[in-house]
Chain A
Amino acid sequence: MDAVFQWLTPGVSDAAHRTDVLFFSLLAITAAVAAAIFAVVVVFAIRYRASSTVDRSAPPAQNLPLELAWLAALLVSFLSFFAWAAYDYRDLYRAPADAMPVYVVAKQWMWKLQHANGRREIDELHVPVGQAVRVVMTSQDAIHSFYVPALRLKQDVVPGRYTSIWFRATRAGEYHLLCAEYCGTQHAAMRGRIVVMEPAAFARWLEAGPHEPGLAQRGFELFRQYGCSGCHSTRSAVHAPELAGLFGRTVHLADGRSLVADEAYLRDSILLPKKDVVAGFEPIMPSFAGQIGEEDIQAIVHYIRSTRRE
Chain B
Amino acid sequence: MTYLGEGYTLRSWLSTHDHKRIALLFAISITAFFFIGGAAAAFMRLELATPAGDLVSDDTYNRLFTAHGVIMVWLFLIPSIPNVLGNFLVPMMIGARDLAFPRLNLASWYVYMAGGILVLGALISGGVDTGWTFYTPFSTMFSDSHVVLTLAGVFVLGVSSIMSGLNFIVTVHTLRAPGMTWFRLPLFVWAIYATSIILVLATPVLGMTLTLVAIERVLGVGIFDPALGGDPLLFQHLFWFYSHPAVYIMLLPAMGVASEIIPCFARKRIFSYRFMAYAIIAIAALGFLVWGHHMFVSGQSAYASIVFSLLSFLVAIPSAVKVFNWTATLYKGRITLSAPMLYAWGFVGLFTIGGITGLYLASLALDVHLTDTYFVIAHFHYIMVGGSVMAYLGGIHFWWPKATGRLYPEMWARVSAVLVFVGFNLTFFPQYLLGYQGMPRRYHAYPAEFTLLNVFSSCGAAVLAIGYLLPLVYLTWSLLRGAAAGDNPWRATGLEWQTPSPPPKHNFEDTPVVEAGPYEYEGART
Encode A26-67 as 1/0 by CB contact (under 8 A) with B. Answer: 100010011001101100110011100001110111110011
Q: In chain B, what residue has the closest Cβ to A26?
A: B360
Q: Are B231 and A160 in contact (CB under 8 A)?
A: yes
B107 interface residue, CB < 8 Å from A? no
A150 CB to nearest chain B CB (Å): 8
Q: What's the Cα separation between A85 and B312 when bound, in Å? A: 13
CB within 8 A of A56: which of B332, B337, B441, B448? Answer: B332
The residues of A that contact B227 with a CB separation of less than 8 Å are: 159-160
Measured between C-beta atoms, what is the minimum distance from B298 to chain A in Å? 5
A4–B302 touching, CB < 8 Å: no
In the complex, are the beta carbons of B448 and A78 less than 8 A apart? no
Cβ of B445 and Cβ of A189 under 8 Å apart?
Answer: yes
State how many angstroms separate the Cβ of A21 from the closest Cβ of chain B: 10
Looking at the assembled complex, report how far the CB atom of A160 sits from the nearest CB atom of chain B, in whole angstroms: 2
Q: Does B335 contact A (CB under 8 A)?
A: yes
Give every chain A residue within 8 A of B526 (Cβ-Cβ).
56-57, 59
Chain A proximity mask over B131-151: 1 for CB below 8 Å, otherwise 0 = 100010110011100000000
Inter-chain contact B437/A147, CB cutoff 8 Å: no
The reply to whether B352 and A67 contact each other, CB–CB distance below 8 Å, is: no
The total number of A-B Cβ pairs within 8 Å is: 269
Tell me which residues from 168 to 195 in chain A have a Cβ below 8 Å from any Cβ of chain B. 176, 178-189, 191
Complex interface bits, B380-414 against A, C-beta within 8 A gives 1, otherwise 0: 00000000000000000000000000000000000
Judged by a CB distance under 8 angstroms, whether B58 is at the interface is yes
Q: How far is the CB of B266 from chain A (nearest CB, A)?
A: 7
Q: Does A130 contact B (CB under 8 A)?
A: no
A67 to B324, CA, bound (A): 8
Digitize B343-370: 1 where CB-to-A-CB distance is under 8 Å, 0 elsewhere.
Answer: 0010011001100100110111111110
Q: Any chain B CB within 8 A of the CB of A239?
A: no
Question: With the chains together, A1 CA to B316 CA distance in Å?
Answer: 38
Q: How far is the CA of A22 from the CA of B330 in the complex (A)?
A: 34
Flag whether B317 is at the interface (Cβ < 8 A).
Answer: yes
Once the chains bind, are B449 and A5 in contact (CB under 8 Å)? yes
**B523 near A: Cβ within 8 Å?**
yes
Q: A50 and B335: CB pair below 8 A?
A: yes
The smallest C-beta distance from A91 to any residue of chain B, in angstroms, reads 8
* B296-333 interface code vs A (CB 8 A; 1 in, 0 out): 11110010011001100110110011011101101111
Interface assignment of B453: CB less than 8 Å from any CB of chain A: yes
By a CB distance below 8 angstroms, the chain A residues around B325 are: 67
Contacts of B314 in A (CB 8 A): 78
Q: Please, how many angstroms separate the alpha-carbon atoms of A81 and B365 in the complex?
A: 10
Q: Is the CB of A59 within 8 A of B524?
A: yes
Q: Are A70 and B448 in contact, CB atoms less than 8 angstroms apart?
A: no
A180 contacts B334, C-beta separation under 8 Å: no
Main secondary structure, interface of B, reads: helix
Binding stretch for chain A, among B24-32, B72-80, B267-275? B267-275
CB-based contact A48/B332 at 8 Å: yes
Interface residues on B, range: 35 or more
Contact of A26 among B62, B305, B366 (CB under 8 A): B366
In the complex, the chain B residue whose C-beta lies closest to that of A271 is B226
Complex alpha-carbon distance, A181 and B142, angstroms: 14
Q: Are A82 and B142 in contact (CB under 8 A)?
A: no
The closest CB in chain B to the CB of A186 belongs to B58
Pair A154/B369 contact, Cβ less than 8 Å: yes
Knowing A19-B366, A88-B365, the reply to whether A70 touches B302 (Cβ < 8 A) is no
List residues of chain A with CB within 8 A of the CB of B441.
Answer: 180, 182
Inter-subunit contact A89/B437 (CB<8 Å): no
Distance in angstroms between the alpha carbons of A67 and B297 in the assembled complex: 36
List of A residues within 8 angstroms of B324 by Cβ: 37, 67, 70
Q: Is B297 within 8 A of A154, CB to CB? A: yes
In contact, B524 and A61 (Cβ under 8 angstroms): yes
Question: With a CB–CB cut-off of 8 A, which chain A residues contact B333?
Answer: 44, 48, 56, 59
Distance in angstroms from A45 CB to nearest chain B CB is 6
- A117-125, A137-145, A200-208, A243-251: which lies at the interface: A137-145
Q: Which of B317, B369, B449 contacts A71 (CB 8 A)?
A: B317
Q: How far is the CB of B457 from chain A (nearest CB, A)?
A: 13
| Cβ B313 vs Cβ A78 within 8 A | yes
A74 on the interface (CB 8 Å rule)? yes
Selected contact of A45 from candidates B330, B360, B449, CB within 8 Å: B330
Which residues of A, 69-113, contact B by the 8 Å Cβ criterion?
70-71, 74-75, 78-79, 81-82, 84-90, 92-93, 108
How far is A48 from B335 in the complex, measured between Cα atoms in Å? 6
Given contacts A8-B437, A90-B302, contact A45 B135 (CB under 8 A): no
B364-A161 in contact (CB<8A)? no
Chain A residues with CB under 8 Å of B451's CB are 4-5
Please judge, given known A-B contacts A1-B448, A154-B372, whether A60 and B309 are in contact too, CB under 8 Å: no
Whether, in the assembled complex, B6 has its beta carbon less than 8 Å from a beta carbon of chain A, the answer is: no
Judged by a CB distance under 8 angstroms, whether A23 is at the interface is yes
**Distance, CA A279 to CA B348, complexed state (A):** 60
A3 at the interface (CB under 8 A from B): yes
Query: A225 contacts the other chain (Cβ, under 8 Å)?
Result: no
A163 contacts B365, C-beta separation under 8 Å: no
Q: Which residue of A lies closest to B295 (CB)?
A: A156
Chain A nearest CB from B315 CB (Å) reads 10
Complex contact A60–B331 (CB within 8 A): yes
Whether A152 sits at the interface, judged by CB under 8 Å, is yes
Report whether B305 and A89 are in contact in the complex, using a CB–CB cutoff of 8 Å: yes
Question: CB distance A89 to B368 under 8 Å?
Answer: yes
A306 in the interface (beta carbon within 8 A): no
B317 and A59: CB pair below 8 A? no
Q: Nearest A residue to B275 by beta-carbon distance?
A: A67
Report the bound CA distance from A181 to B306 in whole Å: 22
A188 to chain B, nearest CB (A): 4
Interface residue? B507 (CB, 8 A): no
Q: Choose among A40, A50, A153 the residue that contacts B334 (Cβ–Cβ < 8 A).
A: A50
Q: How far is the CB of B240 from chain A (nearest CB, A)?
A: 14
For the complex, is A211 an interface residue (Cβ under 8 Å from B)? no
* Interchain CA distance A287-B274 in the complex, whole Å: 61
Please list 12 pairs of residues, one from A and one from B, whose beta carbons are closer than 8 Å in the complex, sorted by A's number: A6-B449, A38-B349, A56-B334, A60-B331, A67-B325, A78-B313, A78-B316, A90-B302, A159-B226, A160-B227, A186-B58, A189-B445
Contacts A30-B359, A89-B296 supplied; 19 other A-B pairs, CB < 8 Å: A1-B449, A9-B437, A22-B365, A23-B369, A37-B323, A50-B334, A63-B328, A85-B362, A86-B306, A86-B364, A152-B368, A158-B298, A160-B226, A161-B226, A161-B299, A188-B444, A188-B446, A189-B58, A191-B447
Going nearest first, the 9 A-B pairs with the smallest beta carbon separation are: A160-B226, A149-B438, A85-B363, A89-B364, A88-B365, A44-B330, A5-B452, A4-B451, A142-B138
